[in-house]
Structure 1
């Protein structure tokens, strides 16, 4: 009888790594995610159109994607701990710049700078996870790591909105920078070097290593799947707060509660999904979650003025689908690259994810229209239909990734 290795407890050091990476990603996710709840405040304070705000969101994502692509060839040539600290320091500096911005173009410049550094952190973290944890534990680890997403909503976004209401919209960025500096110091002093991959490196230039990674057909399958997942995932997000306030009738005081309840549900769901994904077929879990998300996204984007608790309930149900896709898809895609290519693969994968997300935000900004600062958003329902179509295609693509991942695992056992 085959032993269930997914239930093996983590060591104290492994727990430290998981917590450290979760906190690191908490700050990175919060820095990016807070743009959505601050959206209504930003658009009104700077008199921005929906397309301008979409550009502000996409500026970070696209610059992050380009940065990740440029650094992919070097990603497997350094201690992953040092690489993480280098880019995390740049991210902290960029976040400070965001907090000091006082007009639209300075904000755009600051978001580009932050994206150049922040966009690479997720891929480095994924490479560290893949190096330190085998495929049978990765779903559980990713479940805990993704709790940073939920924590950013439960704690980060409500507190950030409180700071923004107390002072101004720049305050949340300064909060993220201070918290990030503390986390960086802990990683610097406590995390061990991550260098096992260096022994497997071949003598290639950075450009050759990047091309070598891009040239592999089964790697490209993973990249394309990630792009499709990002296109659907990013389209609703930028205008979430503006839609909630101007279409659903929520107040600025209710907005933090909406994000908090959604975040609490995420914190409860993610560890469960992580464990389930290590015990059942990951593709089947992803497919069920995707179909559920399509239904909820279309319902949600067609709402008009709605009671607060109904909005909260529907938002939680939709987030269940969104988050339940992330763990199994991430685990399957991470199984594709060889150890010697993981850093480059994760960097390219993260880059394409960011670029696709940035394009999705920009396209959503062109689809969604708002006549004036207080009028309802128009054509948000169109975004829901587009997400549904993209999700159907992503199911097929992840099926092919699933076949590749299972084939690779069989080869490794031989």
Structure 2
């Protein structure tokens, strides 16, 4: 019996790794899709004959659509198996990305970005929901760190490659490449993922009541408050770093990709280690260790004078590592702060809050920052103090998060195992191939 138990355990770990690989790949495609629009701005404005305001709508339409769709999804997503929801969302995201590639006019591109955001914005919350259902709490920090590698790879490889394709072959080509990269993931997912439908059999309230309840529980509100503080501590600064580096720090536009490549590379190598430390020390301890460092780096980067490229690379890379590190710890706590049968709706709502708060942060930063007559950004340091203050507030908010994780009983464990049995044979050969990764 011990041998069978060990074999089942190894199979479960292989399945976790395969699912995490798929989710990280999805994270990569969705982040590149969102980020690639910004560096393509000059080409889009020239080709579509639009001004800065119209281009701003192209960028923000994705975020607003993601926020609204997250609220809708939070009221209904727990009524369906996780695998079904994931496949529908990712299919819609790829279709929206394809529509971006073939959009002939400005207005059709905005409509396509709305469609892409409506599906892509919910995928982040769905990925964390699947991790919460598949990965035990004692390994969840490492799993969240693995998911964050999608962000790192998007920064170090996806965005520079997409920018190269867009600059040399047209702004539509990066979107076509993302669709081509995403189709194999879409076809692999049904074989790799179990249905994850144990929550479906719970009694669900009316969608409107479900949405109200999501924003009624104290544990949910604490998690949402932490999410808002984290986003305000990031997006008041990050959208303007590139402009500040060029106008105030002295970097050239050709040197900017180096900043993101190095920062993404550092994140890629540290995310997994931070995830392991989160499992070993506890998410709250890791969060409270990294967040003060992040606050100091936010002040450093927003007050950076004219320096050598190497100094700018070190400061920005360190900030990216600390920012991703605190997100790993925070999302580990947030995922465990909700009951299993409410997790899909809650994390969809949290994804919506995250998008809306990031938009608010960027808006607040844009209101405060001004441009002088000689092209320098002014009051960026004040934005840094606001971001650092929000980061320090998150230390208190994180202490209010409580884990509601309940170890499943024997009957539930057997039920979940039976539900997964139907697909495990199909995915095990694939999972075995990456067992040593």
Could you tell me the TM-score, scaled by structure 2's length? 0.84
CA distance in 2 between counterparts of 1:328 and 1:58 reads 28
> C-alpha distance in 1, partners of 2:254/2:126?
37
1:353-378 deviation per Cα after TM superposition (whole angstroms, max 9, x unaligned): 11111222233333333479x93433
What is the CA–CA distance in structure 1 between the aligned matches of 2:112 and 2:204, rounded to whole Å?
37
The residue correspondences of 1:78-117 to structure 2 (distance < 5 A) are 78-101=80-103, 105-117=107-119
Quote how far apart the aligned CAs of 1:42 are. Answer: 5.5
What is the rounded CA distance, in whole Å, between the counterparts of 1:242 and 1:107 in structure 2? 25
Rounded to whole Å, the distance in 2 between the matches of 1:192 and 1:163 is 36
Residue of structure 1 in register with 2:378 after alignment? 378
Alpha-carbon contact 1:61-1:354 (below 8 Å) kept: yes
How far does residue 161 in structure 1 lie from its aligned partner after superposition? Answer: 1.8
**SS of residue matched to 1:27:** helix
Taking the aligned partners of 1:47 and 1:204, their CA distance within structure 2 comes to 46
Give the Å deviation of 1:235. Answer: 2.1
CA 40–319 in structure 1, closer or farther in 2 if over 3 Å, else same: farther
After superposition, what is the alpha-carbon deviation per residue over 1:228-264, rounded to whole angstroms, capped at 9, x for unaligned?
A: 2122222223233333333333333322222111111
| Partner residue, 1:312 | 313
- Residues 339 and 405, structure 2, Cα contact 8 Å, conserved in 1: no
Provide the residue aligned with 2:162 in structure 1.
Answer: 160
Q: Which residue of 1 aligns with 2:273?
A: 272
Match of 2:432 in 1: none
Which residue of 2 is the match for residue 206 of structure 1? 207
* Alignment partners' CA distance in 2, 1:384 and 1:336: 30
Residue segments in structure 2 that go unaligned for 5+ positions in a row: 1-8, 410-437
Superposition deviation, residue 123 in structure 1: 1.1
C-alpha distance in 1, partners of 2:395/2:173?
A: 40
1:288-327 superposed matches below 5 A = 288-327=289-328
The offset of 1:80, in angstroms, is 1.0
Q: Larger radius of gyration, structure 1 or 2? A: 2
| Partner of residue 146, structure 1 | 148
The structural deviation recorded for 1:30 is 1.4
SS in 2 for 1:278: helix
- The 1-side partners of 2:344 and 2:64 are apart by 20
* Deviation for aligned residue 1:106: 4.5
In structure 1, distance between residues paired with 2:160 and 2:175? 13
Using the TM superposition, give the Cα deviation of residue 52 of structure 1 relative to its aligned residue in structure 2, in angstroms. 6.0
SS at match of 2:257: helix
Moved more, 20-29 or 188-197: 188-197
Query: What TM-score do the two structures reach when normalised by structure 1?
Result: 0.88
Against the structure 1 CA distance between its residues 287 and 93, is the aligned structure 2 distance closer, same or farther, given a 3 Å change threshold?
same
Shift in alpha-carbon separation, 1:38–1:392, aligned structure 2, 3 A: farther
- In the TM superposition, 1:14-413 aligns within 5 A as 14-38=16-40, 48-49=51-52, 55-101=57-103, 105-199=107-201, 201-370=202-371, 375-401=375-401, 404-405=402-403, 408=404
Cα drift, residue 163 of structure 1: 1.3
Retained in 2: the 8 A contact 1:54–1:361?
no
8 Å Cα contact 1:36-1:237 kept in structure 2: no
> Would you say how many aligned residue pairs link Structure 1 and Structure 2?
399
User: C-alpha offsets along residues 254-278 of structure 1, whole Å, 9 cap, x if unaligned?
Assistant: 2222211111100111000000000
CA contact (8 A) 1:60 1:111 kept: yes
Rounded to whole Å, the distance in 2 between the matches of 1:300 and 1:53 is 26
Distance 2:307 2:45 in 1: 23
Helix, strand or coil at the partner of 1:75: helix
Mean alpha-carbon deviation: is it higher for 145-154 or for 353-362? 353-362
Q: Cα–Cα, structure 1 residues 230 and 136, in superposed 2: closer, same or farther, change >3 Å?
A: same
TM-fit CA distance, 1:284: 2.4
Structure 1 unmatched runs, 5+: 1-7
Q: Which residue of 2 aligns with 1:4?
A: none
Summarize the Cα distance change of 1:203–1:296 in structure 2 as closer, same or farther, 3 Å threshold. closer
Per-residue Cα deviation, 1:180-224 (whole angstroms, up to 9, x for no partner)? 22321221444332212223x114222222222222122111112
Kindly state the Cα deviation for residue 149 of structure 1 after the two structures are TM-superposed. Answer: 0.6
Q: Distance in 1 between matches of 2:21 and 2:86?
A: 15
Q: Matches of 1:69 and 1:209 in 2, distance apart?
A: 11
Shift of 1:412: 8.6
Q: CA contact under 8 A between 1:229 and 1:394: conserved in structure 2?
A: yes
**Contact kept? 2:246, 2:252, Cα under 8 Å:** yes
Contact 2:287 2:326 in 1 (8 A): yes
